[in-house]
Amino acid sequence: MANWFDNSAIFYNPGANAFVTDSSISLSSSTYLYSETYLREGAGPNSSLFSSSVETIPSIFSGVLTNLDKSDITLSYGLLNINSSRYNINKQERGMVDVIPNRSESQFYLGDYSYKSKYLEDWAGLGLSKQMNANFGIGGTVFITSYVHDYYERNEARIFSDQSANSILAVNTFYDELEFRHIGMLAKIGLA
């Protein structure tokens, strides 16, 4: 249960906001996250992938307005970042290989791999709370939720007869992309 002196009650228990006596605004961030991703041989034999990122999760901007129209109703609001992650991995390999049989010399190989992923979940909410008596409060919050997931992957291999761009012999490209957006709504009722 949330402490009623904490604006985060809009998320945890909107009924607790009925006991707030002063209007307030707060901004908080729970965690700074540094993450590293290492995929051993993720782009093939002897070709590993690495990514690093710094993120803030979750964070909340919230506030409470009390004594609206001289009543015992409290209005609360909040913007919450529930989840956030981003990955960006790029790798390039090059070298002389014997890809095409029956040729007297090796060919120049150039391979590019790119992977990007973004995941975000945010909530925006408004709540009303009412103190029923000295020991009991009730409240409700309505949240609009937003979920975003973007994904991009590209893998390209090119073979050249030598190291010049004009001598291309073959190209193989794989490309995949997804953009997903979702908007939703949820409601919470709290007693305190």
Tens digit of each residue's pLDDT, the chain (192 residues): 445 556 778 888 899 888 888 888 887 776 777 878 787 877 677 777 777 777 766 788 888 988 777 778 899 999 998 888 888 888 888 888 887 777 778 888 889 989 899 989 999 999 999 989 989 999 999 999 999 999 999 999 999 887 777 888 889 999 999 999 999 999 999 998
Q: What is the pLDDT of residue 76?
A: 92
pLDDT of residue 39: 78
Three-state secondary structure call for residue 70: helix
∠ CA 118-123-128, rounded to 5°: 175
* Cβ contacts of 31-40, under 8 Å, gap ≥ 24: 31/56, 31/57, 31/58, 32/56, 33/57, 35/85, 37/87, 37/89, 39/89
Asked if residues 10 and 4 have their Cβ atoms less than 8 Å apart, the reply is: no
Q: How far apart are CA 53 and CA 151, in angstroms?
A: 16
Residue 179, amino acid: E
| Residue 87: predicted pLDDT | 80
pLDDT of residue 185: 97
pTM above 0.85, yes or no: no
Give the number of other CB atoms < 10 A from CB of residue 55.
Answer: 14
Provide the pLDDT for residue 156.
94
